[in-house]
Chain A
Amino acid sequence: MLEFDDVHVGYGRSTVLHGVSASVPADGVAAVMGHNGAGKSTLLRAAIGLLRPARGVIRLAGEDITKLAPHERVARGMAYVPQGQQCFPHLTTAENLQLIADSRPGGRAAMGEALDLFPALRALLNRRAGLLSGGQRQQLAIARALITSPKLLLLDEPTEGIQPSVVAEIEHTILGLTQRGGLSVLLVEQHVGFALRAASHYYVLESGRVTSSGAGGDSAQQAVREALAV
């Protein structure tokens, strides 16, 4: 579904990713793990088009999308949930969702389905998103991404900084989505156990390079923990 082919990305003169090659299988989940500063979020920002690779090619379902703008990538079926429970803080919860639903055929129905996944948001529709808790904002961010009915979902540390009870709910929802089929996921996650439970394939990044990769599942835990311990 998504391929990174020898991708080099940086900020100004500072290169963060040094020739990363990785892929997300169709209907599969690829997890990217690594220490802080390894380049995980940079990889996702390049995938959605917020950063333009200096070298290399990014393909979506075989199409070269390296030079496409973010909204063009979203139109092709990509959705992105950035790190840090980001939302539009001065818009209400409902407006955050309507914003995406407005421009799509069937957007209202998709908005209802997204709210079914996170029913707690229904009671908060008229509250400004900036006043929600971190967990609620993360649920809103995931719901917003799902309204686009994506073929590929990019998730950047969806459980980071959230209270455990909400983490369990978010994990449950993400696992449910990946098992439903029709959706590929590129998941950046620090929580190795959850990442490998969800993933069919994993990559470990270290200083902008892939240092370890393989099939996901609980059996990969030892190899990943060793790679991360280096």
Chain B
Amino acid sequence: MTVIVSQLFTGVSIGAVLLLIALGLSLTFGQMGVINMAHGEFIMAGAYTVYVLQKVITGAGWSLLIALPIAFAVAGAMGVLLEFLLIRRLYARPLDTLLVTWGVSLILQQAARDIFGAPNVQTKAPDALTGNVRITDDLVLSNNRLFILGLAGLAVVALTLVLRFTSLGRRIRAVVQNRDLAAVSGIPTGRVDRLTFFIGSGLAGVAGVALTLLGPIGPTMGTNVIIDAFLVVVAGGIGHLKGSVIVAFALGTLQSLIEYSTTVSVAKVLVFVAIVAFLQWRPQGLFTLRTRSMA
């Protein structure tokens, strides 16, 4: 029983990481429909923000907390720049967007190598996050995983509140649903696009900060997780935050439970197979919204 609970916790924590990296995509890809292959590099930028801050601020103590808003701003600014310079010219051309942003992702990876060097670097976790919480003798939960779980929860709640209860959130949803109608309703759609991209990319930066707690930082760290993030958003139902949350935790738990009786690689393969099978059965993803047909 303890083993199952322990594996479930591991699964939930894997799900929290998946959710954090997918959350930004659920806005830029899920809401706006932009296939931004450079999203992973915004995650990388967030992670390197922690590295740079730890160089500037000696010691790990507060650097992680300070890094969260700064990484959000850095990655968000990169996203706005990308949207303003390239993506806004390609809104009706998804294949071109994919290729162009893939090119940008390669440029950003090389830029990271030039600035920080090709080898991976390590950041130091704050002391408070290096320990464990012992529930029973057999069940031990690591502080960093609990922190990531809390951070993912906070990010989901914050994003939900922004989308559902603020003027900006209503504007974002309106532009997504009917761009022309939003424009003729007096909404400056270009500005809303840039704000949406800022938030979505900023969330990638926050995910990057979280990933520094789990492993080293390198130029390709974003590429390694971006496919998982796309899968979460697609399987959850494009444009549905709730779907992304459920799928992230479901995949995390599934992977953890399979890993227990097999290996990490086998678990990864089986999870991909499960997603492919799920999308064959339900191509629109977990959630869709129903409306009367519009004239």
**Pairwise interchain contact B292-A130, C-beta atoms closer than 8 A:** yes
Chain B residue nearest to A84 (CB atoms) is: B295
| Interface size in chain A (residues, C-beta < 8 A) | 35
**Pairwise interchain contact A74-B295, C-beta atoms closer than 8 A:** no
**Pairwise interchain contact A90-B173, C-beta atoms closer than 8 A:** yes
**Pairwise interchain contact B291-A74, C-beta atoms closer than 8 A:** no
**Pairwise interchain contact A128-B174, C-beta atoms closer than 8 A:** no
**Pairwise interchain contact A134-B185, C-beta atoms closer than 8 A:** no
B289 within 8 Å of A (CB atoms)? yes
| Residue of B170, B178, B184, B289 touching A80 (CB-CB under 8 A) | B184
Q: How far is the CA of A128 from the CA of B184 in the complex (A)?
A: 21
**Pairwise interchain contact A71-B186, C-beta atoms closer than 8 A:** yes
Q: Which of A91-99, A167-175, A186-194, A201-209 contacts B (4 or more CB under 8 A)?
A: A91-99
On whether A88 and B186 interact (CB within 8 A), knowing A130-B289, A130-B291, A130-B292, the answer reads no
On whether A91 and B294 interact (CB within 8 A), knowing A50-B183, A70-B184, A102-B170, the answer reads no
Chain A residue nearest to B182 (CB atoms) is: A88
Docked complex: B144-165 residues within 8 A CB-CB of A: none
On whether A130 and B294 interact (CB within 8 A), knowing A50-B180, A90-B177, A91-B174, the answer reads yes
Q: How far is the CA of A109 from the CA of B36 in the complex (A)?
A: 41
On whether A86 and B171 interact (CB within 8 A), knowing A71-B186, A75-B186, A128-B291, the answer reads no
- The smallest C-beta distance from A12 to any residue of chain B, in angstroms, reads 13
| Residue of B183, B188, B292 touching A131 (CB-CB under 8 A) | B292
On whether A88 and B184 interact (CB within 8 A), knowing A102-B167, A130-B294, the answer reads no
- The smallest C-beta distance from B185 to any residue of chain A, in angstroms, reads 6
**Pairwise interchain contact B167-A69, C-beta atoms closer than 8 A:** no
**Pairwise interchain contact A70-B183, C-beta atoms closer than 8 A:** yes
**Pairwise interchain contact B177-A89, C-beta atoms closer than 8 A:** yes
**Pairwise interchain contact B186-A48, C-beta atoms closer than 8 A:** no
A103 within 8 Å of B (CB atoms)? yes
On whether A90 and B184 interact (CB within 8 A), knowing A99-B171, A99-B174, A102-B167, the answer reads no
On whether A85 and B183 interact (CB within 8 A), knowing A71-B189, A90-B177, the answer reads no
- The smallest C-beta distance from A81 to any residue of chain B, in angstroms, reads 9
Q: How far is the CA of A70 from the CA of B295 in the complex (A)?
A: 22
Please name all residues of chain B whose beta carbon is closer than 8 Å to the beta carbon of A84 when the two chains form the complex. 294-295
Please name all residues of chain A whose beta carbon is closer than 8 Å to the beta carbon of B291 when the two chains form the complex. 89-90, 128, 130-131
**Pairwise interchain contact B177-A91, C-beta atoms closer than 8 A:** yes
**Most chain B CB atoms below 10 A, which of A99, A102, A144, A160:** A99
Q: How far is the CA of A70 from the CA of B183 in the complex (A)?
A: 6
A23 within 8 Å of B (CB atoms)? no
B181 within 8 Å of A (CB atoms)? yes
**Pairwise interchain contact A88-B167, C-beta atoms closer than 8 A:** no
Q: How far is the CA of A87 from the CA of B189 in the complex (A)?
A: 16
Please name all residues of chain A whose beta carbon is closer than 8 Å to the beta carbon of B173 when the two chains form the complex. 88, 90-91, 95
**Pairwise interchain contact B187-A85, C-beta atoms closer than 8 A:** no
Chain B residue nearest to A133 (CB atoms) is: B292
Please name all residues of chain A whose beta carbon is closer than 8 Å to the beta carbon of B170 when the two chains form the complex. 91, 95, 98-99, 102
Q: How far is the CA of A132 from the CA of B185 in the complex (A)?
A: 19
Docked complex: B190-222 residues within 8 A CB-CB of A: none
Chain B residue nearest to A145 (CB atoms) is: B185
Q: How far is the CA of A164 from the CA of B185 in the complex (A)?
A: 27
On whether A74 and B185 interact (CB within 8 A), knowing A50-B180, A88-B173, the answer reads yes
**Pairwise interchain contact B292-A99, C-beta atoms closer than 8 A:** no
Q: How far is the CA of A131 from the CA of B167 in the complex (A)?
A: 22
Please name all residues of chain B whose beta carbon is closer than 8 Å to the beta carbon of A133 when the two chains form the complex. 292
**Pairwise interchain contact A85-B177, C-beta atoms closer than 8 A:** no
Please name all residues of chain B whose beta carbon is closer than 8 Å to the beta carbon of A74 when the two chains form the complex. 184-186
Q: How far is the CA of A100 from the CA of B184 in the complex (A)?
A: 11
**Pairwise interchain contact A48-B184, C-beta atoms closer than 8 A:** yes
Q: How far is the CA of A86 from the CA of B174 in the complex (A)?
A: 12
Please name all residues of chain B whose beta carbon is closer than 8 Å to the beta carbon of A103 when the two chains form the complex. 167, 186-187
Please name all residues of chain B whose beta carbon is closer than 8 Å to the beta carbon of A160 when the two chains form the complex. 295
A148 within 8 Å of B (CB atoms)? yes
List 30 interface pairs A-B (beta carbons < 8 Å), by A numbering. A50-B180, A50-B183, A70-B184, A71-B186, A71-B188, A74-B184, A85-B295, A86-B181, A87-B181, A88-B177, A88-B181, A89-B177, A89-B294, A90-B289, A90-B291, A91-B174, A95-B170, A95-B173, A98-B170, A99-B167, A99-B185, A100-B186, A128-B291, A130-B289, A130-B294, A131-B291, A131-B292, A132-B292, A134-B295, A148-B186
For the complex of A and B, 4 pairs with smallest distance between CB atoms: A130-B291, A74-B186, A102-B167, A70-B183
